[in-house]
Amino acid sequence: PPGALTARGAGLRPRGALRLVPGWDRGETPARCEARTGGPVNLVWRVETRAGLFALRIDGPSWQRPGVDRQRELLLHAAAAAGGLAPEIVAAAEDGSVLVTRFVAGRVWTPGHFADRASVVALCRRLAQLHSPPPVSYTQLTPPTSDPV
């Protein structure tokens, strides 16, 4: 993505990937680094440095399963961030195996949220915003002919 710091990511261990996090890149130790849970494909940490709060995503052991395309993901994430729908990409490994974004706190919806009219209205507004940006070029999303999909 334009303006994002890049580095070669293949084989980066979590400690090496931390070099892409603002603040850590200057050799400072993060104030806090905590593992997050929830995804079967990625290893994710919330990292706090003097430069701010960041999400650090590193490919997990099953990232190479069908349908995972890191280059396409970066393209779509950058488009969503430009539209205010995703956090800013701060840094990414050239191969997409490491991604650093601004950290955005959130919550998991429960059945109670769906029963609350104000929550559902807010969700509908967000979905309308999600579908309002101009589409990303289809040619940028077309898999290469060597892609087995």
Asked if 129 and 85 count as a contact pair (C-beta separation under 8 A), the reply is yes
Question: Given a cut of 70, is residue 35 above it in pLDDT?
Answer: yes
What proportion of the chain, given as a percentage, has pLDDT over 70? 71
Asked if 54 and 101 count as a contact pair (C-beta separation under 8 A), the reply is yes
Question: Residue 55: what pLDDT?
Answer: 93
Nearest C-alpha neighbor of 101 from the set 39, 58, 50: 58
- Cβ neighbors of 86 (< 8 A, separation 6 or more) are 77, 80, 101
- Cβ neighbors of 133 (< 8 A, separation 6 or more) are 79, 80, 82, 83, 85
Question: Given a cut of 50, is residue 2 above it in pLDDT?
Answer: no
The per-residue pLDDT for range 87-114, each reduced to its tens digit, is 999 999 887 788 999 999 888 889 999 9
* Model confidence, pTM: 0.72
Q: How many residues does the chain have?
A: 149
* Residue 18 DSSP code: G
Nearest C-alpha neighbor of 106 from the set 51, 49, 44: 44
The per-residue pLDDT for range 123-133, each reduced to its tens digit, is 999 888 888 76
Environment class of residue 31 by beta-carbon count within 10 Å: exposed (0-12), middle (13-18) or buried (19+)?
A: exposed
Question: Residue 147: what pLDDT?
Answer: 46
Question: Given a cut of 80, is residue 27 above it in pLDDT?
Answer: no
Mean pLDDT of all residues in 46-54: 91
Mean pLDDT of all residues in 21-48: 79
Question: Residue 5: what pLDDT?
Answer: 42
Binning pLDDT at 50, 70 and 90, where does residue 61 land?
low
Question: Given a cut of 90, is residue 54 above it in pLDDT?
Answer: yes
Nearest C-alpha neighbor of 55 from the set 14, 22, 102: 102
